[in-house]
Amino acid sequence: GALLAQMLVEPVGIILRWYDELQVAQVSLARLVGVRDIEPESGDGSVRPDGRDVRADEVRFGYREGVDVLHRVSMDVPPGTRVALVGPSGAGKSTLGRLLAGIYAPRTGRVTLGGAELSRMPAERVREHVALVNQEHHVFVGTLRDNLLLARAGAEDAELWAALGAVGADGWARALDDGLDTEVGSGGLALTPAQAQQVALARLVLADPHTLVLDEATSLLDPRAARHLERSLARVLDGRTVVAIAHRLHTAHDADVIAVVEEGRISELGSHTDLVAAGGAYAALWRSWHG
Ligand code: ATP
């Protein structure tokens, strides 16, 4: 909190280069969320993960012909670990996150979950295990119930309420005259941004993937709503493997492993203590941050 405030008041050159979005007045962990749909594609139904280890193995990827954004990136995300990807804007953090979540398939190399290649698994199977959480928190036209059932068709109302409770959204939801039957989305009840994000988090709770790729972003939520949402998010992250694309250092420093991504490569890998001691790019950033 204090650190962040200081950073906003006294932005240092290097931080501005790395984190353009700091110029946005309000920053928060938690402008999140929506279980992102992976393009449905045929996969081999017999390909199943044997374990929960997520690995990138010599992954090369680009969006355009002839331009690689990731150059032979390898990393291991053991179950239960918290990994933070940090680095300059455009370095490839979000891209790596999308590959680890199976949104895109590598050009060469492999991304595996429990030894099975994500790109060979049916998309629905990938989604049962790994979800990408980002700020595209869609509220769809329909009832609140419809919005939640997207994550788990056939869930009982009691499960939907439990999910809303798990993210701290049951208070306002129970106050709605029509409860789960309340029409939301355009034409219906206008949810606040924080409420929309909670609905998206509740969908995550229902989908219950063991691994989350969390693309953090700046938020224009007021600080109280942002703090509230951070608490909701913390509850959702608890017990899961998390790869956080950290656009700001304060959310990265307590990760089990920090991967510094620069120009499509992982240039440094280690805990905060390791990396500060190593005296490389991360250490420079951290130092500049402390003035
Ligand atoms: P930031 O912190 O600004 O989000 P990043 O490290 O997450 O940056 P990426 O978003 O992965 O970086 O972008 C890496 C490169 O890929 C950039 O050159 C970017 O312009 C390009 N890129 C990202 N997404 C797409 C896309 N959907 N289509 C085409 N190019 C893209």
Mutate to test the pocket of ligand 1, among 94, 215, 251, 262 (most ligand atoms within 8 A of CB): 94
Task: For 177-192, write each residue's pLDDT tens digit.
Answer: 999 999 998 788 888 8
Distance (Å, rounded) from C-alpha 137 to C-alpha 272? 30
Q: What is the pTM of this model?
A: 0.81
Q: Average pLDDT of 14-36?
A: 30
* Predicted confidence band of residue 270 (pLDDT cuts 50, 70, 90): very high
Q: Tell me which of 161 and 224 has the higher pLDDT.
A: 161
Which pLDDT score, from 0 to 100, does residue 264 have? 97
Which pLDDT score, from 0 to 100, does residue 279 have? 95
Angle of helix 193-207 versus helix 157-166 axis, rounded to 10: 120
**């992954």: which residue's tokens?**
59
Say yes or no: CB of residue 69 within 6 Å of ligand 1: yes
Q: Average pLDDT of 115-140?
A: 86
Say yes or no: CB of residue 23 within 6 Å of ligand 1: no
Predicted complex ipTM: 0.97
Q: Whose CA is nearest to atom 22 of ligand 1?
A: 63
Q: Whose CA is nearest to atom 20 of ligand 1?
A: 90
Residue 265 has pLDDT above 50, yes or no: yes
Each residue of 260-278: b (16+ CB within 10 Å) or e? bbbebebebbbebeebbee
Q: Whose CA is nearest to atom 21 of ligand 1?
A: 90
Give the nearest ligand 1 atom to 92 CA. 11
Which pLDDT score, from 0 to 100, does residue 41 have? 52
